[in-house]
Every structure is written in C-alpha cells, then in structure tokens.
A and B are shown apart, each in its own frame.
Chain A
Amino acid sequence: MLRRLPAQARASVTWAKKPISDGLARLRSEPLTDELAAVVAEQVIAPMQAVGGAAWHALAANLDSYRAAVMTDFANDEGTLLAFVDDEDSRDTVAWITGLLRSFYGTIFTAIMPQQLATVDEGAWREIASMPEFAPFMRGLTVLMAAVEEARVGTDRQRARDLVDVAFLELTQFRDALRRHGLQLSAFPYATTEQRRELLTQAAQRVRKALTTEDWSSLQAARVANLR
C-alpha cells in the first residue's frame, strides 16, 4: 500500500516501515504462539494505522481506484502465498482468508462514501482499532502479512503454512465478532450450489486426513451428555 501513496503522503509515513518490518521478522523467526501474535500486532498497530490513514486520505477521493488497489494487493498476496505454500490444505486456507477479507472490505467500501472516509481522523482510527472486536482482525492481518513476507523473501514453507493457520484462526474470531453485531460475512459468498458441495466434501476429506484414530476418539470423548 505504501508504494501506491503520492510522494508527500509516502514520506510522511516512511517511519512506519521499520517497526512493521521488525514485527513481521519476529513472527517469521520466533516461536509462533498466540502471545507473540498479540504482542506483535500491538506493536505494529500504530504504524499500520498511520499507513492506512495516509492511504485513506490520499486515495479515498477516488473510491473505485482505492478499492481496485486494495483488491489488486489481495490478489498479488494471494498469488504469492498460493505459489509458496505447497500443500492443498494451506492453499484452501489462503483462499478462505482472502475470500473473507474481500467480503469484509467489499462491504466497507459499499457502505461508506468517499466523503465519509476522508473525514475519519486519527483519533477515530485509534478508537476503532482499540475495540475488542477488532483485535483478532489486527492480529490476523499482521500474521498474514508475515506469511506473505516469508513467501516473498524467505524459504521456510512450513513457517508460512503455520502463519497462515494462525491468521485463519484469528480471522474466524473476527468473523464471529462481526456475526455478533449482525454482519454475516462469507469467505465464499458467490459460490454456486455445486461449488458449495465440493467445498464441503473437500473440507470433510481434509478433516479425515488430519485426524488420527486417536484424535477422533478424543473428539468422541468431548461429547456432551448432561449439562449438569
């Protein structure tokens, strides 16, 4: 996004590059825990807000162009990740993540006018970012950026796959938070009936492949009988 900004806007947020890069480097190299994802997301939230805010102000006047730029970035990141993680399960997870993010941004871009976007100031961004519902979104997005970075400049495919999995789990929490507010987002909103059948069949096959017989027995042991 930074490279799409006009020179003056880009210069005003150049400082944000290093803290974001440092945070992504930690996610690519340190033991990958929920705590690390939370700490790094917290560290990069201000610089990411700065870049995002600059982008809104510089590009929001032409919402169609901005929307196209965001979707192009998604497509590029998705292509980079899909080419790097070399297993079908991770590719499926990447497709889910980018599908959900497209649905989310598509909804935002549809619901908000460019004039409204231009009036959103830094304080309002900070307020939005501090909402508990928004935390898993920030964590998911940050971890996803680290996965893309690994795919771009790294060599560790397993790390990229793990990062994709963590991003997915964070974004499912964000999806659930939106549902609590009445917004039902789908990662595959335009899937046909036949495609939905195929997606479900593939998902079941992947569960069977991922679980051992012992895992399955553990799931059975977690069944509910009486609640009291």
Chain B
Amino acid sequence: MTLIDTNLVSAFLHPDAPTRFPEQHAFVSDLIAGDGFAIAYVTQFELRRGAEELLRRGQGRRKLVTLEKFLDRVEVLGLDGTGGSGWNFAARLWADGRAHQPAIVLTDADLLIAATAAFHARPFATSEGRLADNLREIAFPVEVRVVPAAAPAPGQAARR
C-alpha cells in the first residue's frame, strides 16, 4: 500500500480536484480502487492544524468534522516503532543526505514523510520531482513515484 505525500492528499481534496489536479486525482482514485493508500502522521498533522485554524476563525466545525471523517478512513502511519526506531531511521536518512556530494538537504516535513514510507516498507508517491530525485540520490530504500503536478495557476506558486 503506497504512502502518499501531503501534496497528493491536498490535490485530491481540492474542491475542483478532478479538473484542477486531474493526474493527482486519478492517481489517488486508482489507489483507492486498488490496495488503498496510507499517509504519514506528519500529513495528518498538517491537514488537521489547518482545519483547526479554520475552526478558530469561526468558519464552522463542519469542515473539521468532514476532514476528521476522511482521516478516520485512511491508514495513518508514524515513526514511533519500538524505541522510536522510525525516528532513528529518519535521522540516518537525513545524515545520508548531508553526507552526499553535493549535500542534499530535505525539509523536515519531506524527510519525515518519506522516512515514514520507507520505515514501513511502503512505496512512496509525491508530486515533487525534485524530492523524488533527491531520495533516489541517497539510495532511498523503497520505490518513489512522481505524479506530475498540474501547472500552477497564474500568480500561485507551486509548493514542495
């Protein structure tokens, strides 16, 4: 079961996902029709803190409820194996990147999400080609798939 990056979950949940992010929407839909997909606790943290912020702005608890129900139906994986072994794995991955020539610096979120996939021996899918390239450079131990991102709308920068 593939673990998908936050950028893919986000694209899949966009109000106009099928038209705005057709590749990502189709990719995640195909995963659901197959084995399903997993996300990292970091991704859950990112989504939930955004929804909690909306709630505190008085924009309705219904949004948090719908997101919470979505998260409840997804497999969420973390790094807290025996003795925090997943965190140790992430630390080694970070050091592998730093030791690479030239050094590869992954953002903490990218590092922890990718490490979660590898720690659980799950293929990893992301929309960010550069992240995938960097992971391959440091001999990331599981398959990395890149789902091409749609071109960003005018004036909107692509993230990660």
Contact = CB atoms under 8 A, between A and B. Distances in A.
A124 B74 CA distance: 37
A221 B69 contact: no
B6 A223 contact: yes
Nearest to A187: B72
A207 B70 CA distance: 7
Contacts of B49: 222
B12 interface: yes
Contacts of A221: 50
B79 to A, nearest CB: 13
Nearest to A191: B73
Contact of B63 (A166, A168, A172, A210): A210
Interface stretch (A6-14, A89-97, A128-136): A89-97
A209 B51 CA distance: 14
Interface string A12-40: 00000000000000000000000000000
Given A223-B6, A223-B159, A216 B68 contact: no
Interface size on A, as a range, is 35 or more
A207 B36 contact: no
B99 to A, nearest CB: 19
Nearest to B113: A224
Interface stretch (B39-47, B116-124, B133-141): B39-47
A226 interface: yes
Contact of A93 (B12, B29, B65): B65
A27 to B, nearest CB: 15
A165 B32 CA distance: 26
Nearest to B107: A225
A2 B116 CA distance: 49
B149 interface: no
A28 B138 CA distance: 58
Contact of A220 (B10, B63, B68, B74): B10
B33 to A, nearest CB: 7
Contacts of B159: 220, 223
Contacts of A187: 72
A223 B66 contact: no
B59 interface: yes
B67 interface: yes
A92 B69 contact: yes
Contact of A222 (B15, B50, B107): B50
17 contacts: A89-B62, A89-B65, A96-B72, A187-B72, A203-B69, A207-B66, A208-B14, A208-B15, A210-B67, A213-B16, A221-B50, A222-B50, A222-B53, A223-B6, A223-B50, A224-B46, A227-B108
Given A165-B62, A208-B17, 14 more contacts: A93-B65, A172-B68, A172-B72, A197-B33, A204-B13, A206-B69, A206-B70, A216-B13, A218-B50, A223-B50, A224-B45, A224-B46, A226-B109, A227-B109
Interface of B: 6, 10, 12-17, 29, 32-33, 36, 42, 45-47, 49-51, 53-54, 59, 61-70, 72-74, 107-109, 159-160
Interface of A: 89, 92-93, 96, 162, 165-166, 168-169, 172, 187, 196-197, 199-201, 203-204, 206-213, 215-216, 218-228
